[in-house]
Amino acid sequence: MIRSRKFSLPLFARSLSARLLVLTIVFVMLAEVFIYAPSVSNFHTNWLKDEAESAHLAILARLRTYARPELTQALRNAIEIDGYDYDWSLNDTAEH
């Protein structure tokens, strides 16, 4: 015959101070998650913006280097690229 034993916590885990300590640890960990996740997202967004900005500058510099003389003069005053539609089909990996 199997007797079921009632599960009981050790004496130190039953005290009010132990319960308060566990609750404090849980709430601190939850607060860290709620602060850390948006921080990582913000860092990633800023990194992507910086990468896009540096890519635009690199493209303009490359165009200035190899453009015809009449276009080079127009590109000297350009600080950003306007009206560029990217052909996303170039990224397709499927065989045609």
Judge whether 81 and 60 are in contact, CB under 8 Å: yes
pLDDT under 50: residue ranges of the chain: none
Amino acid 81: pLDDT: 67
Quote the pTM value: 0.44
The percent of residues in the chain predicted with pLDDT above 90, rounded, is 16
Amino acid 21: pLDDT: 92
Q: What is the CA angle 27-29-32, rounded to 5?
A: 110
Average pLDDT, the chain: 80
Distance CA 49, CA 55 (A): 10
